[in-house]
Amino acid sequence: MNNHRKTVVVGMSGGVDSSVSAYLLKEQGFKVVGLFMQNWQSEPGEVCTSEIDFKDASKVCDMLDIPLHKANFSDEYWDKVFEEFLSEHRKGRTPNPDILCNREIKFKSFLDYALNIGADYIATGHYASLRDINSKKYLVRSKDLKKDQTYFLHEVTENEFKQCIFPLENLFKNEVRDIAESLNLPIFSKKDSVGICFVGERNLKDFLGRFIKLEKGIIFDEYGSEVGIHNGATLYTKGQRQGLNIGGVKGKEDLPWYVFEKDISKNEVYVCQGIDNELLFSKYLECDNISWINSLDFSFPKSCSVQVRHQHTPVNCEISYENEIYNVEFTESIRGVAPGQSAVFYDNDVCLGGGIISKSA
């Protein structure tokens, strides 16, 4: 690829990963342009993390001598990401907004905007890799498996990936920080962002409570005994331990409690004790729909591996397709398979795609 005269627009977040991505692309001879995305409209009195991030992105772009654009996608974010996030929570499911955000904002709104300002390619600071095999573009795990973000990218298609570069694909996170420090970039030690994509790190109960009516309810154990009070059943996820606030229960062992089920219509949460409790495990899940990254070149049943959350160790499985439902059977039980979260499928290190879990058993 002759990089000279090719323009790449880099999504600049004000963090270390996107900053080093921009530097590496410039070193490779690309004409680099930065784009800062504002995707959340802060309310008066809120600490606006996007203002801090924009200042950081501006400083980095000045130091790297690259222009920086700012685009406001907050309407698109609200309509296409946040409304779905709230809708899923109202149903009692546990959605992953980062996946929606990648599909709708970073690889649609951002891509369209970048192409309109003359981009040949877009680039982001994701830890992921793209591989050309038989003139097809495949999404593949990054070299740094601990940071690998292919799980969050499974709803983006080959069509978008054809115009995308992941500069960090062959780097470990510590190497990225070392590069930033060697360039004296002020963000070299900035913490990684956590929390809801673009909304930031917040108390989920307080935040969701502004949009969804949350009511306290009873926490029961598997025998139907009342063991605590919760703040709203939709806040809890199968396998969750944190935030249950169940003290010592008379007649029970001093073991941690975990959510194994909930009933949204009754506003009840059900818990059991012990990390290895069989009530926490599933051998099977269903997806109503699966987004495949590449056009299907295999038939069902399909043997591959499945990952049910970020950094979950993949488990071998078989996918069958019957009555317009994808049935996924595991070769070993998986703990904490939660409806609303995503099951993502891999063939070795190649990400095939994934779908939202509608049921587990």
Between strands 217-221 and 68-72, the pairing is unpaired
Cis, peptide link before residue 301, omega less than 30° from 0: yes
Cβ partners under 8 Å of residue 63, min gap 6: 183, 184, 185
Interior/surface letters 149-185, b for 16+ CB within 10 angstroms, e for the rest: bbbbbbbbbeebbebbbbbbbebbbeebbebbeeeeb
Distance CA 272, CA 287 (A): 26
Residue with tokens 């941690």: 256
Backbone angles phi, psi at 93, to 5 degrees: -100, 170
Beta bridge partners, 69, equal: 35
Residue with tokens 């071998």: 316
Closest C-alpha to 22, from 50, 57, 55, 47: 57
Cβ partners under 8 Å of residue 15, min gap 6: 53, 56, 125, 187, 190, 192, 193
The catalytic residues are 101, 197
Backbone angles phi, psi at 318, to 5 degrees: -130, 125
Neighbours of 237 (CB within 10 A): 18
Strands of 68-72's sheet, edge to edge? 68-72, 31-38, 7-11, 121-123, 164-165
**Amino acid occupying residue 168:** L
Pull the structure tokens for residue 292: 């495949």
Backbone angles phi, psi at 178, to 5 degrees: -60, -40
Pull the structure tokens for residue 170: 């062959």
Neighbours of 200 (CB within 10 A): 19
Angle at 179 between CA 177 and CA 183, to 5 degrees: 115
Closest C-alpha to 38, from 84, 9, 81, 70: 70
